[in-house]
Amino acid sequence: MSEYKGIKGFQVQTRTEDPGPTEAQAGDFYYNSGTGTFKTVNAGTGSWSSGGAINTARAYGGSSGTSRDAAMYFGGYTIPTNYANTEQYNGSSWTEVADLNNSRTGVGGFGNSLTAAVCFGGDEFPAPSPRYLADVEEWGGSSWTTATSMPGVLQMGGGAGTLTAGLVVGGDQPGSPNLTQTLEYDGTNWTSGGNLNTGKASFRLSCGLQTAAIVAGAPGYSATTEQYNGSSWTEVADLNTAGSQGAGGGTYTSAITSGNQSPAKGASESWDGTSWTETAERSTDNYGLGGSGASNQNAIVHHGYDSAPPSFPTAAEEWNLPDFEIKTVTTS
């Protein structure tokens, strides 16, 4: 950081107070006459913080939502039980709401509000006797109702979009792991979309819209990332850390992911539409997560499993990346 003796002689702006969000620009330098200090505006630094603890610990459920203040989680698994539980998060606490009609693990989800979500696929029975599902349920704000089934069974697929314009991406079928298929949902019917370039399941991230989606990571320590434009997938910049079974949220051009089956279970990365940047790690080392988010500045990651030792943490962690940070400059 600059010291005053290194910048004296330059004309320095004087302000009576710090700039607000619409005024501040990274790189600005000024004298705050109200506090009698020199200050600089820096680009924001992101961090994870503790959110409200979940009510029912489990992993491998489905998730939906738009931000860290509006998240939803349904289904899931703890050894040896599958769950139908549904929980919603309001930015401070989780609330149990109506259960799914069928308990299941390895489910996927999508939806852009706490009153409109979709749960798809999954596994009705824990290993070693799996029974994959094509079942679909829709959340209408107070209960789940049975909707049109997918064309085929799958588990661990990625989801994106809304109740009336959704995507199911990749997934596993018996004897066919890491599918390349894309299914599009209009609220009533399923149709086929463009295939992934590389088959994937158990993503580190899947989010966005039906016409602008992104998926990243996959089993086998894959770092590949692909974007969907409504008709075809394009491979873009790889993750820095390969892996699977993470979560996060955001958009086609601005997203955050955290969690990894191995080796760095708390690893997190931010997407700016062009490349991935490693960020601060979460304090909870787990995977098989749920998550939602508005962008690479606002997200929540929750639920999940830690294999060493085996446990299902109740922690939820919130990601915040401010647009800017104002720092006081040393003037000695």
Question: What is the rounded distance in angstroms from the CA atom of residue 78 to the CA atom of residue 127?
Answer: 12
Domain spanning 47-320: CATH 2.120.10.80: yes
The residues pairing with 77 across neighbouring beta strands, listed in sequence order, are 59, 82
> Which secondary structure element, helix H or strand E, spans residue 119, and what is its range?
strand 116-120
Q: Where are the domains of the chain?
A: 4-45+322-328, 47-320
Please report which confidence band the pLDDT of residue 53 belongs to, taking 50, 70 and 90 as the band edges: very high
Q: What pLDDT score was predicted for residue 309?
A: 83
Strand order in the sheet with 205-209: 205-209, 212-218, 222-228, 233-236
**Single-letter amino acid code for the residue at 237:** A
Lowest-pLDDT choice from 27-31, 172-176, 270-274: 27-31
Rounded to whole angstroms, how far apart are CA atoms 123 and 57? 18
- Radius of gyration of the chain, Cα coordinates, nearest whole angstrom: 22
Q: What predicted TM-score, i.e. pTM, was given to this entire model?
A: 0.86
Per residue in 193-239, pLDDT tens?
999 999 999 999 999 999 999 999 999 889 999 999 999 999 999 99
Least confident of 167-171, 263-267, 282-286, 300-304: 263-267
pLDDT tens for residues 157-191? 999 999 999 999 999 999 899 999 999 999 999 99
Taking the alpha carbons at both ends of the chain, their separation in whole angstroms is 12
Residue type, 150: M
CA–centroid distance for 144 within its chain: 23
Question: pLDDT by residue (tens digit) across 210-223?
Answer: 999 999 999 988 99
Predicted confidence (pLDDT) at residue 2 exceeds the cutoff of 50: no
Question: Residue 324: its pLDDT value, please?
Answer: 66
**Phi, psi (rounded to 5 degrees) for 205:** -160, 140
How many other β-carbons are positioned within 10 Å of the β-carbon of residue 128? 5
